[in-house]
Amino acid sequence: MTYQTNLDIKPDVQAVFDPATNTISYVVKDPASNACAIVDSVMDIDYAAGRISYDHADELIDYVQKNDLRLEWLIETHVHADHLSAAPYIQAKLGGKLGIGKNITVVQDTFGKVFNEGTEFQRDGSQFDRLFEDGDTYKVGEMDCFAIHTPGHTPACMVHVMGNAAFVGDTLFMPDGGSARADFPGGDAATLYDSIQKVLSLPDEMRLFMCHDYGPNGRDIAWETTVADEKAHNIHVGAGKTKEDFVKFRTERDAQLDMPKLIIPSLQVNMRGGDLPPEDEDGKRFLKVPLNGL
């Protein structure tokens, strides 16, 4: 598929870094109006204490309100395994529609079984307002936007292009960070390589915004690069590295990685669109820990 880009549209992008999860969330403003989108928000959790809070989300809300912006979209690039989404909390405060890739249903089916959610857990993506397919378009104010299906890290991964800015989720990291793991259920290193090539087929000048950064080799946290820079310098896929080399490296590397520390709460919350598990008969909510289940 050929994706139609418009580099003349230059949205204002405000990044908010969450040091607890190394996640970067974004407020993306249409340059021609006060409309905006929020990409990959974070809900705070003290896992040991079982306590949820919203400091990160409140920072996003405060920015939107202080700048008199109108929130039209809450975008999830994928079902995150390393942080919890704050989308429903923000939606209740600011409105907007919640969107994710259509293959959320694959993720819901997989992890609905892992967490033994039962038939009451809907696996049809109905927790979201829009399920994006490859090439789907939408607007933020007057700004044309579109989604690119980029599976490999997870089946539901999407890159969202808004003007000259693309929000890549975990499909790519900064050039010195390389790429995300591909060993989660439904992940695949060869598929991830093909997805990365979709991103690198965008114009060289396209700005790329990361969902995570870990400051490799002690550098400061960073989150913005370009297609040209990734093609030239990405340590996993740049400078003409082959698919065969990538799959070999990625598979060997993933076998050595520990699971993300927040994978158990993150998946249970994020497959619900950011909602917490339902209350029991006493009004209490619980997260499940499947033994030997992930």
Tell me the pLDDT of the chain (294 aa) as tens digits. Answer: 778 899 999 999 999 999 999 999 999 999 999 999 999 999 999 999 999 999 999 999 999 999 999 999 999 999 999 999 999 999 999 999 999 999 999 999 999 999 999 888 999 999 999 999 999 999 999 999 999 999 999 999 999 999 999 999 999 999 999 999 999 999 999 999 999 999 999 999 999 999 999 999 999 999 999 999 999 999 999 998 999 999 999 999 999 999 999 999 999 999 999 999 999 999 999 999 998 866
- CATH fold of 12-270 reads Metallo-beta-lactamase; Chain A (3.60.15)
Cα→Cα distances 149→31, 128, 169, 246, Å: 25, 17, 11, 20
- The phi, psi pair for 267, rounded to 5°, reads -65, -40
8 Å CB contact between 154 and 195: no
Instruction: Please name the residue ranges forming H helices in 75-226.
Output: 87-94, 104-114, 189-200
- The pTM (predicted TM-score) of the whole model is 0.96
The ranges assigned to domains in the chain are 12-270
Q: 27: which 2 tokens?
A: 């407020």
Neighbouring CB atoms inside 10 A of 270's CB total 26
